[in-house]
Every structure is written in C-alpha cells, then in structure tokens.
Amino acid sequence: MTSRTRLKRKEVDDVLGGEEMWKHADSTPTSCDKCNHGRAYFLQLQIRSADEPMTTSYRCASCGYRWNEN
C-alpha cells in the first residue's frame, strides 16, 4: 500500500523586484522585436561576474514584451 502527500511550496521572493521595478524604469527609443513599437523601458543589472558587461533588460511600452541584451 502506498500513499502520497502533497507538500505545500514555499513562496519565493523575487530578488530583482518583480513588476515593481518596472514602475520606475527609464525609457529609450528602441524597436520592439514583437510589435515594432518605437519605445521601451530598460534596466541595467550586473548578473554575471564583475569583469563581464552589464545586462540590459528591455520591456516594450506597448505590448509588454521583454528581451535582454548583453
């Protein structure tokens, strides 16, 4: 005879700020790959080691599509 117990998952905190960080992001004229809108919000984060360049994350101001650039 076997039985299964479902464990409750812990809530994970978003260490990068989640949706709240995009409220204060600056915008720049750039083209969205998905909808070709001409403006996007951006953030720069040091994700890798200190000798690597910062990663720039973009979010389209129109459709909300997200992409990264090294």
Binding residues for Zn(2+): 32, 35, 60, 63
DSSP secondary structure letters along 47-61: -S-TTSPPEEEEEET
CA dist 34 and 2 (Å) reads 49
Binding site members:
32, 35, 60, 63
Q: Would you give the DSSP letter of residue 64?
A: -
